[in-house]
Structure 1
Amino acid sequence: MLVVMQPNASAADIDKVCDEIVRQGFKPLPMPGAVRTAIGLLGDDAQVDWSYIEGLPGVANVLIVQKPYRQASREWKNENTIVEIAPGVRVGGSDVVVFAGPCSVESEAQILASAHAVRNAGAHALRGGAFKPRSSPYAFQGLGLEGLKLLALARNETGLAIVTEAMDERGADLVAEYADCIQIGARNMQNYSLLRHVGKLGKPVLLKRGMAATINDLLLSAEYVLSEGNPNVILCERGVRTFDSATRNLFDLTAIPVVQKLSHLPIMADPSHGTGLRDKVTPMARAAVAAGADGILVEVHPTPDKALSDGAQSLYPEQFTELVRQLRLIAGAIDRQLAPTPVR
């Protein structure tokens, strides 16, 4: 349920509505807007005496949110959410952002070379896995805590914000300590206890769509984070499994405008995992920005042929530099722009 206040409602009117929601046993969530304030009600609103609330001073009307994902829906909030993961790095709005880096943190030399390369090309954040969920238990699983420390070192040298994945609650606590944004990977999109946990940590969350998840599933997963009081959720399309083996996944470009119609949350696109093939990453990244994505997530490695994971889909630094140049042109053609590179 959403209580929409009149434009001239006083602070006392808003407080009275919040007090009444608490009196009925629920939690109010005031959301000041440019013109008026709305107050969300968290909980099973079927039990709320909304007719009484509608008659309180300053109340314009009461809306019943129909979508199962309440706080993620545009019924709950029509204005686009902008998530700031670090000073000057904002996802949503008119600027398009680029997060780039290797699949895995492999060594100090490798991650520093990657960080400098993507920053010089115009990236806004460094991505790289310290904890790696792999299909095979014998594949490289990441450096763990040491990888997080190396990512922090790269941030100190380049000024880039850090985005890295958490696989479990203990790992999420470590990621929150060292990184600027916690990534929840496709395999954990429906790990609801982990989603609740990262919601309580308060850090921005990059939530990837699961390999067999519908858009409704993705938005419901986002709702778990939002329901714990964390509004800073960034969605990410990264391809879904299909019967065709021509590419690693089916990169679902239609998810971008569909999500933007249904939800106020920003959405990025990951053409690296979406295709799994280096020569397909650039065209699909271009297409994602043209489709309206708020940013892209791209894997870049100094020497992809020697990468310990996902080398086949990682761009060479010079390919990434050319991609960023092209994305500037595409963003401009649709009345957007690439965000400026953060100041060190």
Structure 2
Amino acid sequence: MILMRQIVPAAITNGTLCRVPAPILTQPEKEEDRSMIVVMQTGSSQADIDAVLERLKEYNLQGHLTIGAERTVVAVVGATIPPTLREELEYCNGVKETVRITQPYKLVSREVRPHDTIVDVRGIKVGGGSTVVIAGPCSVESEAQIMESARVVREAGASMLRGGAFKPRSSPYTFRGLGELGLQLLAQARDETGLPIVTEVMTPTDVELVARYADVLQIGARNMQNYQLLEEVGRTGMPVLLKRGLSATIEEWLLSAEYVIAQGNPNVILCERGIRTFETATRNTMDLNAVALAKRRTHLPVIVDPSHGTGKWYLVPPLALASIAAGADGLIMEVHPDPDRAKSDGGQSLNPENFAALMPKIAAVAAAVRG
């Protein structure tokens, strides 16, 4: 293909000049899926940024703006990006350069945002060097059970309370949660203890209901690729805890996070909860490789669920400590006041005494790793 270019008079977009080369082609160029970011010059004006965003709209693309201490970046989001667009944008005032993104996910990539995202949950910071511990029972069973659970995890130093009101279970005949009553009991526990609530939402139609009670919307492993659900929780703007799927690759996991952030919601917390392998000695295989790699590839905070990762309560403490040593920003663990009588996941739940003994060790490892 022979391509010749000539400079045409500057085009005016929102009052800002973009001197764009007009291509003369012997045959039309095909659109390609080329992810990229636009790096603005230091001191570029709002009018310069608006001109770039307007140019993207002309191609039915979206621009997600990230303003950092060192640079301002526009992430280009869309199905296909014309191969000539990079050069066109570099002619716009205030543009320093355009950079191709090597990963299929854009908004979660460190290429777009090199600094860590910190998710604020009622004043509790997840990410950025802090260590957050989310604890509570697998499911809300009764008022007495959830209130006692909330009290014991708060006294031991937990940051948030977990508990399932809607439970996805492998068998339809097992306990599947109390529904809205469970949400009401969680809210009651929050009122008494001050602990923010983390609870799972399972369907798009339940998002509005769960969002009325919860502080963090949890997406379970089985729903990691339920894209309608991901988009719906993204529209709420609320913090979202996204668990990795049972057999999901790290790339698939991060692409699921992209679905949430693409709705304009940057408040995503990734959760590694173990993956399914050939090993049968434990419920899952705890993939701590994923923690270190995700922290390298994305700016999002990463926490670990050693309860589901191992399926055995006595393996939870060593894997919890190993997770913090691997760089995790926190943990989510199952704690039940009477695990032997739990209606779900009692075998992987810590009792209050074991949880209380683990908490100072978590603090010690975090202090050693982070200085």
Do both share a fold (TM > 0.5)? Answer: yes
- Structure 2 Cα separation of the partners of residues 192 and 15 of structure 1: 30
Bigger drift between 269-278 and 166-175 goes to 166-175
- Structure 1 Cα separation of the partners of residues 62 and 309 of structure 2: 39
1:237 to 256, 272, 287: 272
- Structure 2 Cα separation of the partners of residues 138 and 44 of structure 1: 42
Q: TM-score, length-normalised on structure 2?
A: 0.88
For the pair 1:111 / 2:146, whether they are aligned, the reply is yes
- Structure 2 Cα separation of the partners of residues 323 and 34 of structure 1: 38
For the pair 1:304 / 2:339, whether they are aligned, the reply is yes
The aligned residue for residue 73 of structure 1 is 109
Q: TM-score, length-normalised on structure 1?
A: 0.95
| Unpaired stretches in structure 2, ≥5 consecutive residues | 1-35
For the pair 1:37 / 2:92, whether they are aligned, the reply is no
Instruction: Give the total of aligned pairs.
Output: 335
Larger relative CO (CA 8 A, sep 6+): 1 or 2?
1
Q: How far apart are 1:44 and its partner, in Å?
A: 3.1
Q: How far apart are 1:232 and its partner, in Å?
A: 0.8
Tell whether the 8 Å contact from 2:75 to 2:106 is kept in structure 1 after alignment.
no
5 Å-filtered alignment, 1:114-263, equals 114-263=149-298
The aligned residue for residue 28 of structure 1 is 63
Identity between Structure 1 and Structure 2 (%): 54
Tell whether the 8 Å contact from 2:77 to 2:106 is kept in structure 1 after alignment.
no
2:356 to 321, 332, 340: 321
For the pair 1:264 / 2:299, whether they are aligned, the reply is yes
The aligned residue for residue 101 of structure 1 is 136
1:53 to 77, 82, 89: 89
Q: What SS does structure 1 have at the residue aligned with 2:121?
A: strand
Write out per-residue CA displacement over residues 76-125 of structure 1, whole angstroms, 9 at most, x where no aligned residue: 211111111222x1111011100000000001111010001101110010
The aligned residue for residue 11 of structure 1 is 46
Which stretches of structure 1, 4 residues or longer, exceed 6 Å deviation after superposition?
A: none
Q: How far apart are 1:45 and its partner, in Å?
A: 4.7
Q: What is the one-letter code of the residue matched to 1:58?
A: G
Bigger drift between 116-125 and 327-336 goes to 327-336
- Structure 2 Cα separation of the partners of residues 303 and 150 of structure 1: 18
Tell whether the 8 Å contact from 2:37 to 2:99 is kept in structure 1 after alignment.
yes
Q: What is the one-letter code of the residue matched to 1:101?
A: G
The structure having more radius of gyration, on CA atoms, is 2
> Considering only aligned residues, what root-mean-square deviation do their CA atoms show, in Å?
1.2
Q: How far apart are 1:236 and its partner, in Å?
A: 0.5
